[in-house]
């Protein structure tokens, strides 16, 4: 199953064009970085319903190679494995690899007209845009 980025949830992890999606996110597939390794957690809640973040976003099923930003489990844990200390990775990179549209007023096929989507970190609203939310290794949050 694939998604066109504008479908309604659930959104499966892509399987056919992973290398292209990883490159579009400004990342590459290859050996995992060892300079920093941390695990932010992503929860998506739409109309009170939790949406599953699939396993294997950023993982090429043909080779097993992974990008620096990827998932293994279906619990929303994002694995970040950086080549260098202080590298910046964003929520937008994850969604680009996933193939799910993310804008201030849209996630996949879900749109809002009432002030946009809300981004929180550890339950607290954060004042950054969704696409540029950069994970912080010291707190594993934006």
Segment holding 73, helix H or strand E: none
- Digit-coded pLDDT (tens) for 24-41: 999 999 888 888 999 988
- Token pair of 11, please? 């959104």
Torsion of CA 140, 117, 126, 91, to 10 degrees: 30
Quote the pLDDT of residue 103. Answer: 82
Residue found by looking up tokens 């489990």 in the block: 73
- For residue 32, give the DSSP letter: P
- Digit-coded pLDDT (tens) for 76-127: 999 999 988 888 898 889 999 999 998 878 889 988 877 667 777 666 776 5
Q: How many CB atoms sit inside 10 A of residue 13's CB?
A: 23
Mean pLDDT across 62-76: 95
pTM of the predicted model as reported, rounded to 2 decimal places: 0.86
CA distances, 56 to each of 14, 23, 125 (Å): 8, 16, 28
- Token pair of 96, please? 């680009």
């Amino acid at each position: 199953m694939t998604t066109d980025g504008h479908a309604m949830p659930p959104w499966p992890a892509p399987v056919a064009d992973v290398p292209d999606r990883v490159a579009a996110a400004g990342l590459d597939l290859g050996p995992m970085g060892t300079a920093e390794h941390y695990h932010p957690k992503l929860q998506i809640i739409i109309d009170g319903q939790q949406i599953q973040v699939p396993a294997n976003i950023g993982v090429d099923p043909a080779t097993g190679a992974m990008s620096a930003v990827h998932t293994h489990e279906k619990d929303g844990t994002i694995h970040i494995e950086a080549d260098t200390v202080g590298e910046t990775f964003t929520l937008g990179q994850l969604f680009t690899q996933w193939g799910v549209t993310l804008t201030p007023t849209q996630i996949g096929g879900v749109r809002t007209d009432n002030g946009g989507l809300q981004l929180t970190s550890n339950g607290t609203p954060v004042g950054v845009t969704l696409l540029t939310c950069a994970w912080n290794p010291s707190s594993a949050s934006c």
